[in-house]
C-alpha cells in the first residue's frame, strides 16, 4: 500500500534570465500566456541583456514552464542562454508584464533579423471581415520587418523607419495590451495609419490607380515591374512567359545566371520542383530564403528563367505585399534583385527610380523607408543538413557562436567577392548581410556604410581589424586606412586559413584539423595564388601540407572569365598542343595566350581547384567563356550528374620543392583527358573528372592523417558548393573513419570568409 502525499509540493520561486534575441519577437506576451496557462505567478520584463522572469508555483509546473519556454518559444526568438536561480517564494499568484529597464548594455545588444509573415497575420490578411483585410503591411510581434527598418538601438518604434507614422487609436490599443499579439509590435500599422502602396509609371510618375490591379495588368502584358520589398527593390515579371523573362534579361544585362521565382504556397512550389520534407520546411520557415530545388521536367516556367539549369531557386512570399502579389498573379513570378547586372540592390526610392528606369515598365512602391539594404538568402539541402549559399535577409544579424571567446573586439572585413563582414564580441560573431562584389564602386560604398551602421547599432569599436592578405583588395586598403585610428591593430589572415577556420568554428572544433580548401583563387602566404590547398593546423597556426600543381593563369582576371585560357595553360603544362582544344576559340587567340604563358607575361601561377574545373569545361566544349562567376564549374557538375561512371583518371602525388608540402601532379589527368575527349562521352568524362578530384582529396587527406594522427577534416571553399564533389568526397573520407565537417550555417564560398577571419583573429597570439 502506498502512502499518499500528505501535502502538495510547496510552491517555489525562481529568477530566470534569458539571453539572446528575445526582444522585438513577441517573447513577453508568449511568456505571459504560458505562465498564465500553467497557473504560475510572477512577472517578466525586458532588461539590458535579455529578459528577466520571476516565476512562482508548484515545482512540477515550473519544470513544465522551463521546458515549454525553450521548446515552443516564438519562431523568431533565438535563446542563447537560460540561467535559473532559486529565491524565496512571495506567495504571488498572478503573472504580469513589468516595465522595461531601458538601459541597454552595449555588450549585450542583439537584433532580430526580418521575419516572414506569420500564419495568424496571413489569416487576417485574407479575412474580409478583418480590419487589416488585404493591407500589404500587416505584421505583429512575431513577424514583419526588423533589421532592415532599425535606425538605432534599442529597437523601439521611434528608432525605426516606422517613426514617421503615428499610430491610430485601435493600433495604439493593441500595441499597449500585453494580451494582444501586437503588444509592442514596433512596426504595427493599419490602412488608417500606416504605410501605403503607390503605383508609378516607367518614368516614376505617381499614378492614381489601384496599385495591385496595376501590377496585375503589367504582369499579364509580359511587362517588368519593380517592387519595393523588405530589404530592397525586386524586379519581377511572369516567370511562365518567355517574352517577359527575355525582356528582363535583356534590360538587366543578365545573360544566363538563373533567376529565382516566387510562388504563393507549397502546393504551387510542388508543381515546379520535387520537394523533400526538409526543403518544404526551409521554404516555409519564417526566414523565407530562396531554396535551390530540383526542377520538374514539366515545371511551368520559361526556359530563360534558369537556362540549362537542373535546379530552380524558389521562394515563398515573405511579406504581406508578396503574398498579395503571388495570389493575384496565380502563376510563378520571377523575383530578382532590383539592379543592373552586378550592382548592389536598390533600396532607396529616388535611387531605385533612377537606376531601374529603362528596366521597369512600372513601379510598385510604398512610403515605409528601408534603412538597410538586404538581399534574399539562398540555401540548399545537402545530405547532412541545409547549407547556406548566401546568408542575408532572415539570418543576418543573428549571432553565431565562436569556439572560444573573442578577447579583443574584432572587426573582420571578409573578402573581395560575395563580401560580408563580421563583428566579434565575447562568444558571439555577428556576420553581416550580403554586401556583394566590392569591385563595384556602389558595393564598396555600401560596405563602408554598412560597417558604420553596424558599429553604431552594436555600439562597437574594434580593437583588432582582421583582413585578407591580398594587398590589392579594397578591404585591405580599408583596413590600412582604419589602422591610423588609435587603439586599432591589424591582423592579416591568409584566405584559405580563413576558409578553414570558418568551417572549424561553425562546428565548434578547437583543432588541429586538416582543411581541404578548394576555391577560385586567394592570395597565398608566399604571394602566389592559391586555391587547391590542404592545410594542417588550428586557429593560431597552419601549414600548407599539400596543394595542387600550380599552373599559369594567362591574363589573370581574364582567365577567370574565359575558361578556354585555362585549358590552353593546362594543355601546355602537360606537353600537349593547345590547338587540340575542342571549342570555337580562334587559333590566333590560342597563339597569343600560348605566347603569354611561354614568355610568362601576365600569367601568375595558381594552384586553384576552381580553375581546373574551368579548364576541363573548356576542353570538353561545355563552356569556353562565362557570363558569371562559377558558371563553367556548375555546368560541368550538371553534366557529370547524368553519368555514373565509377572510375577516375590518373594523377601523381610527389614531394614538393620545399619538401614540407606534397604536390598533386595533375599532368597525368590532363594527358588522359586529351586522349578521352575526341572519343568519349562528355558526361562520362565530366563524371570521371569529379571522381578524380574526390580521389585526390581522399588519398592526400589519408596520407596527412596517417602522418599527423589528425582525424578531423573540414571541406571548405567555393568549389565545395559542388554537391556531387562534396558528397563523393565526404563518403570516401568517412569510409576511412575520419570525421568530415562541411558548411551549413555559413557559406563555403567567400561569403563565409569574415567569420573565419574573426575566429583566427580572436585567438591570434598577438591579439
Ligand atoms: Zn504576424
Ligand atoms: Zn492603425
Ligand atoms: Fe575563397
Ligand 1 centre distance from Cα of residue 117 (Å):
5
Percent of residues in the chain assigned helix, strand, coil, to nearest 5: 35, 25, 40
Q: Report CA(522)–ligand 3 centroid distance (Å).
A: 6
The C-alpha cell that represents 554 in the structure block = 594567362
Rounded CA gap, 288 and 656, in Å?
Answer: 48
Dist. CA 734–CA 238, nearest whole Å: 45
pLDDT band at 633; cut points 50, 70, 90: very high
Contact criterion met (CB below 8 Å) for 712 and 742: no
**Ligand nearest to the CA of residue 125, numbered in listed order:** 1
Give the closest ligand to the alpha carbon of residue 188. 2
Q: Has residue 656 got a pLDDT over 90?
A: no
Cα 208 to middle of ligand 3, angstroms: 50
CA of 125 to the centre of ligand 1 (A): 10
C-alpha to C-alpha distance for 646 and 597, rounded to whole angstroms: 35
Distance 172 CA to ligand 2 centre (A): 7
Separation of CA 292 and ligand 3 centre (Å) = 21
**Nearby residues for ligand 1 (ion, Cβ within 5 Å):** 118, 121, 140, 143
Give the SS3 label for residue 544: strand
Cα of 147 from ligand 2 centre, angstroms: 22
Q: pLDDT per residue over 235-280, tens digit each? A: 999 999 999 999 999 999 998 999 999 999 999 999 999 999 999 9
Q: Which ligand minimizes its atom distance to the CA of 417?
A: 3
Q: If you measure from the C-alpha of residue 126 to the centroid of ligand 1, how many angstroms do you get, rounded to a whole number?
A: 13
Q: Which ligand is nearest to the CA of 145?
A: 1
Q: Strands 712-716 and 739-741, how do they pair?
A: parallel
The predicted structure's pLDDT at residue 583: 64
Tell how far the Cα of 500 is from the centroid of ligand 3, in angstroms.
Answer: 10
| 555 and 602 Cβ atoms separated by less than 8 Å | yes
What average pLDDT does range 628-641 have in this prediction?
94
How much distance in Å is there from the Cα of 766 to the middle of ligand 2?
55
Of the bound ligands, which one is closest to the alpha carbon of residue 496?
A: 3
Distance from Cα 111 to the centre of ligand 1, integer Å = 18
Task: Answer whether residue 1 shows pLDDT above 50.
Answer: no
Taking the CA of 132 as reference, the closest ligand is 2
pLDDT digits (tens, 9 = 90+) for 395-454: 999 999 999 998 899 999 999 999 999 999 999 999 999 999 998 888 999 999 999 999
Question: What's the rounded Cα separation, in Å, for the pair 465 and 408?
Answer: 10
CA of 134 to the centre of ligand 1 (A): 14
CA of 130 to the centre of ligand 1 (A): 14
Q: What is the pLDDT of residues 163-198, one digit of tens each?
A: 999 999 999 999 999 889 999 899 999 999 999 999
Measure 32 CA to ligand 3 centroid, in angstroms: 47
| Rounded distance from Cα 141 to ligand 1 centre (Å) | 6
User: Strands 422-431, 551-552: parallel, antiparallel or unpaired by DSSP?
Assistant: unpaired
Residue 306's SS3 state is: coil
- State percent of the chain over pLDDT 90: 81
Q: Tell me, what's the pLDDT at 250?
A: 95
Element (H, E) at 312: strand 311-315
In tens, the pLDDT along 491-541 reads 999 999 999 999 999 999 998 999 999 999 999 999 999 999 999 999 999
pLDDT on residue 2: 47
pLDDT digits (tens, 9 = 90+) for 368-383: 999 999 999 999 998 8
Cα(30) to centroid of ligand 1, in Å?
13
Other beta carbons within 10 Å of 472? 8
| CB neighbour list of residue 245: distance below 8 Å, 6 or more residues apart | 237, 238, 239, 259, 302, 304, 305, 334
Residue pointed to by grid coordinates 527575355? 246
What is the CA(169)–ligand 2 centre distance, in A?
7
Amino acid at each position: 500500500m502506498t502512502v499518499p502525499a500528505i501535502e502538495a509540493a510547496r510552491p517555489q520561486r525562481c529568477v530566470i534570465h534569458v539571453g539572446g534575441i528575445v526582444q522585438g519577437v513577441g517573447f513577453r506576451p508568449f511568456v505571459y500566456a504560458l505562465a498564465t496557462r500553467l497557473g504560475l505567478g510572477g512577472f517578466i520584463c525586458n532588461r539590458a541583456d535579455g529578459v528577466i522572469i520571476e516565476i512562482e508555483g508548484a515545482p512540477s509546473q515550473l519544470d513544465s514552464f522551463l521546458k515549454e519556454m525553450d521548446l515552443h518559444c516564438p519562431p523568431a526568438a533565438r535563446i542563447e542562454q537560460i540561467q535559473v536561480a532559486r529565491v524565496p517564494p512571495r506567495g504571488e499568484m498572478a503573472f504580469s508584464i513589468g516595465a522595461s529597464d531601458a538601459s541597454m548594455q552595449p555588450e549585450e545588444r542583439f537584433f532580430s533579423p526580418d521575419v516572414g509573415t506569420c500564419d495568424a497575420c496571413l489569416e487576417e490578411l485574407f479575412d474580409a471581415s478583418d480590419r487589416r483585410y488585404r493591407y500589404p503591411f500587416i505584421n505583429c510581434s512575431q513577424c514583419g520587418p526588423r533589421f532592415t527598418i532599425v535606425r538605432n538601438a534599442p529597437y523601439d518604434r521611434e528608432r525605426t523607419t516606422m517613426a514617421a507614422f503615428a499610430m491610430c487609436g485601435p493600433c495604439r490599443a493593441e500595441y499597449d495590451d500585453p494580451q494582444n499579439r501586437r503588444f509592442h509590435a514596433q512596426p504595427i500599422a493599419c490602412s488608417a495609419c500606416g504605410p501605403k502602396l503607390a503605383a508609378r509609371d516607367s518614368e516614376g510618375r505617381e499614378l492614381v490607380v489601384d496599385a495591385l490591379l496595376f501590377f496585375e495588368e503589367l504582369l499579364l502584358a509580359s511587362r517588368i515591374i519593380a517592387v519595393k520589398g523588405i530589404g530592397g527593390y525586386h524586379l519581377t515579371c511572369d516567370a511562365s512567359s518567355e517574352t517577359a523573362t527575355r525582356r528582363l534579361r535583356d534590360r538587366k544585362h543578365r545573360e544566363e545566371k538563373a533567376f529565382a521565382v516566387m510562388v504563393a504556397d507549397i502546393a504551387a512550389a510542388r508543381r515546379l520542383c520535387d520537394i523533400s520534407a526538409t526543403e518544404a520546411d526551409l521554404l516555409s520557415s519564417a526566414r523565407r530564403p530562396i531554396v535551390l530545388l530540383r526542377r520538374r521536367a514539366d515545371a511551368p516556367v520559361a526556359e530563360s528563367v534558369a537556362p540549362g539549369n537542373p535546379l530552380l531557386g524558389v521562394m515563398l512570399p515573405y511579406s504581406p505585399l508578396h503574398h498579395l502579389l503571388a495570389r493575384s498573379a496565380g502563376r510563378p513570378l520571377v523575383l530578382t534583385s532590383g539592379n543592373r547586372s552586378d550592382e548592389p540592390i536598390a533600396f532607396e526610392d529616388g535611387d531605385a527610380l533612377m537606376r531601374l528606369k529603362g528596366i521597369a515598365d512600372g513601379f510598385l512602391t510604398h512610403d515605409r523607408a528601408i534603412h538597410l539594404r538586404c538581399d534574399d538568402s539562398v540555401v540548399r539541402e545537402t545530405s547532412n543538413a541545409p547549407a547556406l549559399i548566401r546568408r542575408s535577409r532572415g539570418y543576418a544579424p543573428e549571432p553565431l557562436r565562436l569556439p572560444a571567446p573573442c578577447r579583443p573586439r574584432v572587426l573582420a572585413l571578409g573578402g573581395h567577392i560575395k563580401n560580408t563582414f563580421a563583428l566579434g564580441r565575447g562568444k558571439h560573431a555577428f556576420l553581416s548581410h550580403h554586401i556583394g562584389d566590392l569591385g563595384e564602386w556602389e558595393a564598396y560604398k555600401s560596405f563602408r556604410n554598412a560597417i558604420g551602421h553596424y558599429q553604431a547599432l552594436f555600439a562597437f569599436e574594434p580593437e583588432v581589424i582582421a583582413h585578407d592578405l591580398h594587398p590589392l583588395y579594397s578591404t585591405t586598403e580599408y583596413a590600412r586606412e582604419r589602422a591610423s585610428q588609435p587603439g586599432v591593430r591589424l591582423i592579416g589572415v591568409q584566405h584559405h586559413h580563413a576558409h578553414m577556420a570558418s568551417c572549424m568554428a561553425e562546428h565548434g572544433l578547437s583543432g588541429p584539423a586538416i582543411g581541404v580548401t578548394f576555391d577560385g583563387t586567394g592570395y597565398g602566404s608566399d604571394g602566389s595564388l592559391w586555391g587547391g590547398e590542404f592545410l594542417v593546423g588550428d586557429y593560431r597556426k597552419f601549414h600548407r601540407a599539400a596543394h595542387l600543381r600550380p599552373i599559369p593563369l594567362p591574363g589573370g582576371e581574364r582567365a577567370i572569365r574565359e575558361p578556354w585560357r585555362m585549358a590552353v595553360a593546362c594543355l601546355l603544362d602537360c606537353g600537349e598542343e593547345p590547338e587540340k582544344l575542342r571549342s570555337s576559340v580562334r587559333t590566333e587567340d590560342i597563339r597569343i595566350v600560348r605566347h603569354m604563358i611561354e614568355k610568362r607575361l601576365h600569367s601568375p601561377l595558381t594552384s586553384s581547384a576552381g580553375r581546373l574545373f574551368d579548364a576541363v569545361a573548356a576542353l570538353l566544349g561545355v563552356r569556353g567563356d562565362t557570363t558569371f562567376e562559377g558558371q563553367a564549374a556548375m555546368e560541368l557538375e550538371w553534366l557529370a550528374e547524368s553519368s555514373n561512371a565509377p572510375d577516375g583518371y590518373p594523377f601523381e602525388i610527389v614531394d614538393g620543392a620545399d619538401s614540407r608540402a606534397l604536390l598533386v601532379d595533375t599532368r597525368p589527368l590532363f594527358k588522359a583527358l586529351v586522349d578521352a575527349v575526341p572519343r568519349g562521352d562528355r558526361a562520362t568524362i565530366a563524371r570521371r573528372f569529379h571522381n578524380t578530384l574526390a580521389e585526390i582529396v581522399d588519398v592526400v587527406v589519408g596520407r596527412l592523417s596517417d602522418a599527423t594522427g589528425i582525424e578531423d577534416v573540414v571541406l571548405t571553399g567555393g568549389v565545395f558548393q559542388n554537391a556531387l564533389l562534396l558528397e563523393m568526397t565526404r563518403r570516401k573520407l568517412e569510409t576511412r573513419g575520419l570525421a568530415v565537417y562541411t558548411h551549413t550555417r555559413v557559406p563555403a564560398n567567400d561569403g563565409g570568409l569574415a567569420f573565419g577571419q574573426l575566429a583566427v583573429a580572436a585567438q591570434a597570439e598577438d591579439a
